[in-house]
């Protein structure tokens, strides 16, 4: 079996910038009018609330994806270690002011898009050895950045589906179809879920 050819760096960069630029509008649509209780409601004991997801995206924007793409572009030989799960606890994501966290994320995303707008695509073919995943190029990171957005948008949508259905009980929201996370009350514990290492 012949290995797949690496996608054209310029095409990856253009496509990724287009996808990454969609996040602000999608988040603003999903989160518009959310009250304080729903911002902080967890769909299950060990899952994140909307404010925690937004804080995670905010910090990953500059301390993971942005920083690691810059490391590739600057010719670094290693990535700085990160611990997004620990950040959620130490930085008290659940207690953050939701609208401020969202505003910071949107500002950081604008800065990331500006940075990616001046990148020479061929520079994204450089690689750094990741301790767990092996050789990673800037193209890998850009593709993962887009995927990370999508994973957390799916997580956010699932969280809002469960917490909304729980809020409206005993109304039969399950008529809509299978609702993510088991019923039994959101916001009943821990704060870990998802996250890119």
Per-residue pLDDT of the chain (197 residues; tens, 9 = 90+): 656 777 899 999 999 999 999 999 999 999 999 999 999 999 999 999 999 999 999 999 999 999 999 999 999 999 999 999 999 999 999 999 999 999 999 999 999 999 999 999 999 999 999 988 889 999 999 999 999 999 999 999 999 999 999 999 899 999 999 999 987 654 433 333 443 44
Task: Please check whether residue 197 lies inside any domain of the structure.
Answer: no
Which domain, by its residues, includes 53? Answer: 9-162
* Total residues found in the chain within this entry: 197
Q: What is the pTM of this model?
A: 0.90
Would residue 107 count as lying in a domain? yes
- In-domain check, residue 98: yes
Return the CATH number at 140. 1.20.120.450
Which of 90, 77, 71, 67 is closest to 196 using CA atoms? 67
Q: Give the 3-state secondary structure of residue 185.
A: coil
Domain count, the chain: 1
The reply to whether 193 falls in a domain is no
Q: For residue 74, tell me if it sits in a domain.
A: yes
Please tell me the distance from the alpha carbon of residue 159 to that of residue 53, in angstroms, as a whole number. 10
**Residue 152 resides in a domain:** yes
């Amino acid at each position: 079996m012949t290995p797949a050819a690496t996608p054209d760096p310029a095409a990856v960069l253009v496509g990724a910038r287009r996808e990454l630029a969609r996040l602000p509008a999608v988040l603003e649509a999903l989160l518009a009018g959310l009250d304080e209780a729903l911002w902080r409601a967890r769909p299950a004991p060990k899952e994140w609330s909307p404010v925690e997801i937004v804080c995670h995206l905010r910090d990953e924007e500059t301390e993971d994806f942005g920083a690691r793409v810059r490391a590739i572009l600057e010719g670094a030989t290693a990535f700085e270690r990160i611990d997004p799960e620990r950040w959620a606890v130490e930085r008290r994501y659940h207690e953050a002011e939701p609208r401020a966290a969202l505003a910071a994320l949107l500002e950081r995303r604008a800065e990331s898009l500006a940075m990616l707008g001046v990148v020479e695509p061929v520079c994204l073919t450089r690689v750094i050895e990741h301790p767990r995943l092996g050789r990673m190029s800037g193209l890998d990171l850009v593709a993962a950045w887009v995927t990370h957005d999508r994973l957390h948008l799916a997580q956010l949508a699932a969280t809002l589906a469960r917490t909304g259905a729980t809020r409206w009980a005993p109304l039969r929201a399950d008529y809509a179809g299978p609702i993510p996370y088991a019923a039994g009350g959101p916001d009943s514990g821990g704060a870990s879920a998802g996250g890119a290492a």
